[in-house]
Chain A
Amino acid sequence: MAATEDRRARELHSTISGTPVAPLYTADDVEVDYERDLGDPGEFPYTRGVYATMYRGRLWTMRQFAGFGTAVETNARFRYLLEHGQTGLSTAFDMPTLMGYDSDHPRSLGEVGREGVAIDSLADMEALFAGIPLGEVSTSMTINSPAAILLAFYVCVGEQQGVPRAELRGTVQTDILKEYIAQKEYIFPPAASLRLVTDMIEWSARELPRMHPISISGYHIREAGSTAAQELAFTLANGFTYVEWALARGLDVDEFAPRLSFFFNAHIDFFEEIAKYRAARRIWARELRDRFGAQDERSLLMRFHAQTAGVSLTAQQPEVNVVRTTVEALAAVLGGCQSLHTNSYDEALALPTEEAARLALRTQQVIAYETGVVNTADPVGGSYFVEALTNELERQAYEYFERIDALGGVVGAIEQNFFQREIAQASFRYQSEVERGERVIVGVNRYVSDDETPPKLLRIDPALEQAQVERVRAVRARRDDGAVATALLRLRADAAREDVNLMPAIVDAARAYVTLGEMCDTLREVWGVWRETPVF
């Protein structure tokens, strides 16, 4: 008994982000003015949710992220998920695609189709969506530096299927700022990247009224080891930066703000996560209205996708990850997400098998259809604890906004390694707490079991890499070289000019089967590449 008490005494009772938490909250701990701070769901400041009816009106979109091998393998997984009741597609691209290299580039060796699907040209995109009518699904694409190119491929597939641009629905991640901050899949320097993002926002506002051209993402900031408050603050600060760039372009805030979307992590600290989403909605609505002068109510709504925390999954006793993912998914739902990805239990070991991916989807379906939590909007609203934590996260976010402003805004802070250092410190603090036994991870530093049977894992056939290399070479051999040269010349010329939107040149190049690597190489030549000074 003594040993148990001793262990309990050592455990921390702050949130996993280190925010102190009291044993009890009462009316004395929380100052809330209902109209000013909460509002009904669907009412300013949207703390309680962006829609009046929330999940009674419509459930969140169950959107499982998938992608591996070549377009053919991923197309099969997409169809499998649609057959099992998934309601939206979400595409994971492989590292060479994310970094703007074709599959036959020397840097791509060993990486093709490993962490996602390899897409080199429009031909691959055609195969990826074969038999999937783009007018009937919404598609999310997790792509950032080359986002404009993948969006162009998608638009071209839509053209081939005869779907009007106005009917294409989905989300392109496009959030380059969090790449410099956390995920590090950048190619070009920040200013050039922001110009390209702004081109996408501007072009989409005119051409693709039902696409979200950007998903401003805290997910990767959190996965890199940040706290909840850092995720919240850095993500919203990035959002404000995109708004400022679009305004500087001459757009009216209400032309584009309704199509901005967000993506947050759903981590294991249940109430802190719920509070984070609620604080995010309130801050976004207030800043859009008061700082940026948005008039259209839709501009104020912070709609978000959530994904359970990959970083919380353990390689030890992986089946326990099902439980973690369930708790995290429930936090996202109680926090009012618009779409959700639940991780598979085997993802600390490899990309998920079909069975593991189906179980992850079933987890959402159980929450949606069996638990009853969908019947009432913001069911935790008014809890002394949740409201106090919501206020606290908001306070911490504003503290960070001031520090970021003092460094010259988000780009200045990136250049000075501010975010990278803050995240590295937070992540080291957490790891140290785990190692001292102050934080318990079941199966890792407590309840360790030695007799584990490893689960069956998805293996990516190494032959797929060679198949994809041959695919891209075949595309280059059969296209019209004159059209390719013309398209690349125009892309180069437009990239060098600040006053031209680059999207039309990219769409024309895509249509001529110019590859992603060729387009990115051209842009690298004009804009240069970004390198960070690593800090730890």
Chain B
Amino acid sequence: MRKQRVVIAKPGLDGHDRGAKVIARALRDAGMEVIYTGLHQTPEQIVETAIQEDADAVGISILSGAHMTLVPRIVDLLRERGADDVLVVVGGTIPRDDVDELKRLGVAEVFTPGAPTTEIVEFLRAHAPA
């Protein structure tokens, strides 16, 4: 059986990668195939990786405050490239109003500080099957 494939992506200029790495490791330990993009990725690079890697889900980790610019751009690009079946989830320091707006724009879930990795694993298992 094919493993679930998840791209963990760090868009923007900030280097806060603790969360991204903890999630990447937890998903890998949960049996998923994890591709971590590394830092400072543009939305174009992230979407390219998601398509190249045939990802079931993209997890975007962002703490730079630029989420309202960069996340919608990633969602739009996936749509433009016909990859809107890729589930998009976001993690980071995201105010509640922005969470609602991101969900309205097509993000499946937003995980804020303190979210347990088990919750993220379960969410991806339920919503982005291989």
Report A's interface with B, CB cutoff 8 A: 95-96, 98-99, 101, 107-111, 114-115, 179, 183-185, 223-225, 311, 313-316, 348-351, 423-424, 427-428, 431, 434-435, 441, 444-445, 454, 457, 459-460, 462, 531-536
- A145–B39 Cα distance when bound, in Å, is 16
| Cβ contact within 8 Å between A115 and B22 | no
Residues of chain A contacted by B113 (CB below 8 angstroms): 313-315, 348
Verify B95–A532 contact, CB threshold 8 A: no
In the assembled complex, the Cα of A424 lies from the Cα of B117 at a distance in Å of: 15
Give which listed residue, A114, A183, A441, contacts B64 with CB less than 8 A. Answer: A114
In the assembled complex, which residues on chain B have CB atoms less than 8 Å from the CB atom of A351? Answer: 65
| Contact partner, A534, options B28, B36, B64, Cβ 8 Å | B36
Q: Nearest A residue to B28 by beta-carbon distance?
A: A536
Given the known interface contacts A184-B39, A441-B114, A532-B38, the answer about A224 and B64 at a Cβ–Cβ threshold of 8 Å is: no
Complex Cα distance, B112 from A71, in Å, reads 30
Inter-subunit contact A184/B114 (CB<8 Å): no
Beyond A99-B13, A536-B21, 12 extra complex contacts between A and B, CB < 8 Å? A107-B42, A114-B66, A183-B15, A223-B18, A225-B18, A225-B21, A315-B114, A428-B21, A431-B117, A462-B68, A536-B20, A536-B24
Q: Does B96 contact A (CB under 8 A)?
A: yes
Against A, the Cβ 8 Å flags (1 = close, 0 = not) of B29-43 are: 000001011111010
Q: Report the bound CA distance from A454 to B40 in whole Å.
A: 30
- Tell me which residues from 53 to 77 in chain B have a Cβ below 8 Å from any Cβ of chain A: 64-66, 68-70
B25 touches A424 (CB 8 A): yes
Identify whether the interface residues of A are mostly helix, strand, loop, or mixed: loop
* CB contact under 8 A between A184 and B65, given known A314-B114, A350-B93, A534-B39: no
Contact of B95 among A350, A533, A534 (CB under 8 A): A350
Q: How far is the CA of A445 from the CA of B116 in the complex (A)?
A: 9
In contact, A111 and B13 (Cβ under 8 angstroms):
yes
Q: Which of A96, A110, A183, A348 has the most CB of B within 10 A?
A: A110
Q: Which residues of B contact A441 (CB under 8 A)?
A: 114
Q: Report how many residues on chain B are interfacial, defined by Cβ distance under 8 Å.
A: 36
Asked if B14 is at the interface of the complex by the 8 Å CB criterion, the answer is yes
Nearest CB in chain A: distance from B74 CB, A:
12
B7 to A: closest C-beta gap in Å: 12
Contact A110 B15 (CB under 8 A): no
CA distance A534 to B37 in the complex (A): 8
Count of chain A to chain B residue pairs whose CB atoms are closer than 8 Å in the complex: 114
A431 touches B22 (CB 8 A): yes
Which of B17, B65, B69, B116 is A435 in contact with, Cβ under 8 Å?
B116
Cβ-defined contact, A107 with B38, below 8 A: no
CA distance A445 to B117 in the complex (A): 12
Known contacts A424-B25, A460-B65; is-contact A95 B114 (Cβ 8 Å): no
Whole-angstrom distance between the Cβ of B107 and the nearest chain A Cβ: 16
A359 to B12, CA, bound (A): 31
- Determine the distance from Cα of A429 to Cα of B21 in the docked complex, in whole angstroms: 12
Complex: how many Å from CA A285 to CA B15? 32
Q: Is the CB of A435 within 8 A of B118?
A: yes
Chain B residues closer than 8 Å to A314, beta-carbon distance: 113-114
A224 to B25, CA, bound (A): 15
On whether the beta carbons of B22 and A111 are closer than 8 Å, the reply is: no
Pair A427/B64 contact, Cβ less than 8 Å: no
4 closest A-B pairs by CB:
A110-B69, A184-B15, A114-B65, A110-B66
CB within 8 Å for A315 and B18 given contacts A534-B36, A534-B39: no
CA distance A98 to B26 in the complex (A): 30
| CB <8 Å contact, B18 and A427 | yes
- 20 pairs, CB–CB < 8 Å, chain A vs chain B: A95-B12, A99-B40, A101-B13, A107-B42, A111-B12, A111-B66, A114-B65, A184-B17, A224-B16, A314-B114, A315-B113, A349-B112, A350-B65, A350-B93, A435-B116, A532-B39, A534-B21, A536-B20, A536-B25, A536-B28
Write the chain B residue with the least CB distance to A108: B13
Residues of A within 8 A of B69 (CB): 109-111
CB neighbours (8 Å) of B16 from chain A are 183, 223-224
The answer to whether A107 and B36 touch across the interface, beta carbons within 8 angstroms, is: no
Residues of B close to A434: CB separation below 8 A:
116
In the bound assembly, the distance between CA atoms of A101 and B64 in angstroms comes to 15
Contact, CB under 8 Å: A224 / B17: yes
B34 to chain A: closest CB distance in Å?
Answer: 8
Assess the B21–A424 pair: CB atoms within 8 A. yes
- Complex: how many Å from CA A432 to CA B24? 13
In the bound assembly, the distance between CA atoms of A313 and B93 in angstroms comes to 11
Contacts of B38 in A (CB 8 A): 531-534
Q: Is the beta-carbon distance between B95 and A457 smaller than 8 angstroms?
A: yes
Do A444 and B65 have beta carbons less than 8 Å apart? no
Cβ-closest chain A residue relative to B118: A435
Could you tell me if B112 and A435 are in contact, using CB atoms closer than 8 angstroms?
no
Bound: A108/B42 CA distance, A: 11
Q: How far is the CA of A351 from the CA of B93 in the complex (A)?
A: 10
